[in-house]
Each structure stands twice: as structure tokens, then as C-alpha cells.
Amino acid sequence: MARIYPFRAWRYNPTSVRLDDVVTQPYDKISPSMQQAYYQRSPYNLVRIILGLPELFDAERGESVYTRAARDFKAWREQGVLVQEKDPAIFAYSQRFKVPGTEIVKERRGFIALGKLHEYAEQVVFRHEQTLSKPKSDRLNLLKATHAHFGQIFMLYSDPAGSVEKILYDGNGPAEAEVTDEYGVLHRLWRVTDPAAIRLLITAMADKKLIIADGHHRYETALGYSKEHAAKAPAKAEHSATELPQPAFPEAAVMMTFVNMDSDGLTILPTHRVVHSLAGFDPAAFAASADEFFTVESLPTGDATNYMAALSREKTPAFVAVTAAGALLLRSKAEPVAAALADLPERQRQLDLSHLHSILLDRILGLDAEKVREQTNLRYLRDAGEAVEQVRRGEANVTFLTKPVTMEQLREVAFAGDVMPQKSTDFFPKLLSGLTIYALD
């Protein structure tokens, strides 16, 4: 079912720049301080394209972050800072990392290729969470300006025997490129151009169904952009048996990294919810309202590490709510919660985050689906410490610390055609942007 293709990637020229100086975390994981650091690292750092600083552009002259991104991308290709592969290739991509908060070292192995874009209704590509409005508009503007994809969609496939990895990694030599990122993750890349190996990989992936792990916004943006171009795309002749397959037209595919969901290299971290700017928020009234659906237990004053430790011991849906009055451990009450979530599919009723969004955010705090989608009063943070400190600094009303979603929960929800709330999963580590670039023209 999954159609993958080799491609002639644009890559940073190692004779012009150091890879360490130019690649970045995905655009939505770049904090303002990281953005500034990337700018200072190199005049060719990819942040200038994927997340430019607005104050550097002259709006009165019709310039924007998007027109500047297009100009830089064009110039870097012309200057030889970016060079294109001579032959279509697929790239083995591994990431060696320490699991945050532990001493456990893991390696996540995958590969970068183009993947055909499918409507969700075709049941080839499955989403697992809702999306937000603003990121899709932003990414569409960048795609229209640059006609290129600079980061990969993170895709999961099932392969219990590990046959795909064997094609890619058995017998491969030293990595062609490697870089260690700001989180201490070692990223390594191997180019695969052997037509026989590529055909084996294409065949091995042909019966796979895919789950989007990271990149829902960029996938849906690319899909919409593809549909705009499908009608005017020229008819393409069938490839001969000796040719490697290519997309029907450039916009029909997007750059993806494929990882086996059955491997032990996958790590999912929680994403915490920070609620801010609520009029008249009262911690005592909130606790009283929560008591209808949750047992409410006060926790001793501590830091995020203490709170997450307490939460990790809970085997049923639970959260830690931190307000200016202190921290509360909230455990779902089975019967009231079941009644409140009766309209949700069974799989979603089992998810901690469904309890959080449907009851705590919507019913108790008044943040309905539209407000959540527009991020009117809600921020998402990986760092539990920062999420707690925002409340203590008076920058937020309440922070909800959460447990991570499991791979089994994600698989069940996605393949059933259901979706989790926005930002339900945080796969670690992230895929670096700028290792390979897919230009549509």
C-alpha cells in the first residue's frame, strides 16, 4: 500500500559549510533562544528558511519571511552551498540517544525517502491526533514560496521481523555524514543508490500501512498543495522495468522518514498543557469543580521532578494540576468520567488526554475544541519544569502535567480511524531538518 520513491536530494555541501552549523530541530521545536543561536551559528543555517526572524524583513517593500526564504534557498543553490545528488537515492538514517531523565541509551533506525501522499480515507496513511490551524497556514505559505520540503514527515510502519532494516543496515560501512545535536543525539546518514537494494526496499514497503508519528500539519499541508497541482500535472508515461519509480508529479509526494514501530528504539515523551489568560480563574473553585470527576489529592510543595514521579506511579488516568495555590494529583473517577465521555469511541475513553481535554479543559475551564484548535488560552510544553515555573511566575493559570501515550495506544487509535487530542505524543529525538531537501522544481 505504501509507495516510496528514491529522489535526487539537495544537501549541504561539506566543502562550503559544517553540517553541525546548518541543520536544525523541526521548526515547531525551535524556541526563540534556539532561533537566535541558529542565526549566529552560520549565515547558511536552515533556520533562515524554515523559521526566519520577522524583524529582519522590510514589510513596506513587500518582503516577508517567506519571500526571503525563497530568495535564500535560490541563492544557496546557485552559490553551491546546497548541491543536488547526481543519482536518485534513499538514505539510511539512525539516531543514537540517551532517553531523557535516564541513563538508557537507544538507537532508532529508519530511512529517508519520498512517500506518496494519500487521503486518510484511502487507509494507507493514518493520523493519530488532531491538528491546529495556525501551523498549517504558516507551512503552506513557506511551501508556496520555496517549492521545497526541508524536513521529513515521521512515519511509522509495522515490521516485526525487521526485514526493512536488514536491507538498509546489514553490511553498511562508516556513515557518510554525522552530526550531534544540542540534545546530545548522534545523527548518522548513509546514502543508498544501488538500484537492486532500492527495489528490495520498495517491495518490502509495498504492503505497509503508515501512521504519522510527527508532522501532521506538514503532511496535511503537502496533501492540500498536491491536490491543487494534480489537475494541471502533465500525464506521465509508465516507467520501464529497468527504471526506478518516481511520483506521478513532484507535488504528489513528500519527504518522509520511515521507522519500524515494532523496534525498541522508539521513545514517546509527554506533552504538558499550560492554560493561561483565563478571566477570573480561581484555584479553589477549580479544585471544587474537578472533584466531581476526579479524586483530588494535595501534593507536598516540590518541583516538577517530584510531581512527575508521583504521576508515574498512577496506573489509571491521572494528572498533576499546578496552580498558584499548589499542586493537586487528579485521579479519574470511573463512573462520572465514563458518563461524561459516553459520546467518544471506546479507545479514546481509555486515554488520559481525552479525560484532560473533554473534562478539565472543555467542561470545567470552558476551552472548547475551537479554542484548543486556535490555541487561544493553551500552550504545549515538553519541559515539565518550565510548565510548572510559568504558573509560579504568574504567566499561566494552571499547568497540567501528563503521562506519555504508549505505542500500543497510538497504534490502536490510529488504525481504528480515531484521533487523539492535539499534541498527544512527543517522539524523542526529533528528526533533524536540513539533512536532505526535496525541491519540487
CATH number of the domain within which 387 lies: 3.30.1760
Phi first, then psi: what are they for 91, rounded to 5°?
-125, 120
Answer yes or no: do 143 and 261 share one domain: yes
Query: Angle formed by the axes of helices 133-146 and 216-230, to 10°?
Result: 50
Residues 6+ apart with CB under 8 A from 125: 117, 118, 155, 209, 210, 211, 212, 219
Residue 177: domain span:
4-267+429-439
pLDDT value at position 47? 97
Answer yes or no: do 208 and 234 share one domain: yes
In a domain? residue 411: no
In a domain? residue 181: yes
Q: How many domains does the chain have?
A: 2
Answer yes or no: do 315 and 328 share one domain: yes
Answer yes or no: do 135 and 203 share one domain: yes
In a domain? residue 424: no
Place of cell 524536513: 151
Answer yes or no: do 393 and 305 share one domain: yes
425: alpha, beta or left? (left if phi > 0; alpha if psi -120 to 50): beta
- Dihedral of alpha carbons 158, 163, 167, 169, sign: positive
Answer yes or no: do 260 and 280 share one domain: no
Answer yes or no: do 260 and 286 share one domain: no
In a domain? residue 176: yes
- Is the entire prediction scored with pTM above 0.85? yes
Phi first, then psi: what are they for 300, rounded to 5°?
-60, 150
Place of cell 537566535: 36
In a domain? residue 418: no
Phi first, then psi: what are they for 428, rounded to 5°?
-125, 135
d(CA 333, CA 10): 54
H or E stretch covering 384? helix 384-392
Residue 337 in contact with residue 355, Cβ under 8 Å? yes
What's the Rg (C-alpha) of the chain?
23
Looking at residue 8, its amino acid is R
Q: What three-state secondary structure class fits 195?
A: helix
Answer yes or no: do 191 and 239 share one domain: yes
In tens digits, the chain (441 residues) has pLDDT values of 899 999 999 999 999 999 999 999 999 899 999 999 999 999 999 999 999 988 777 666 778 899 999 999 999 999 999 999 999 999 999 999 999 888 999 999 999 999 999 999 999 999 988 776 677 888 999 999 999 999 999 999 999 999 999 999 988 889 999 999 999 999 999 999 999 999 999 999 999 999 999 999 899 999 999 999 987 777 565 455 568 999 999 999 999 999 999 999 999 999 999 999 999 999 999 999 999 999 999 999 999 999 999 999 999 999 999 999 999 999 999 999 999 999 988 888 889 999 999 999 999 999 988 888 888 899 999 899 999 999 999 999 999 999 999 999 999 989 988 888 888 889 999 999 999 999 999
Residue 167 in contact with residue 197, Cβ under 8 Å? yes
Q: What three-state secondary structure class fits 11?
A: strand
In a domain? residue 419: no
Answer yes or no: do 169 and 100 share one domain: yes
Beta bridge partners of 149: 438
Answer yes or no: do 240 and 329 share one domain: no
In a domain? residue 417: no
Q: In this structure, what DSSP letter does residue 358 have?
A: I
Answer yes or no: do 89 and 215 share one domain: yes
In a domain? residue 260: yes
Answer yes or no: do 214 and 300 share one domain: no
pLDDT value at position 60? 63
d(CA 78, CA 80): 6
pLDDT value at position 61? 72
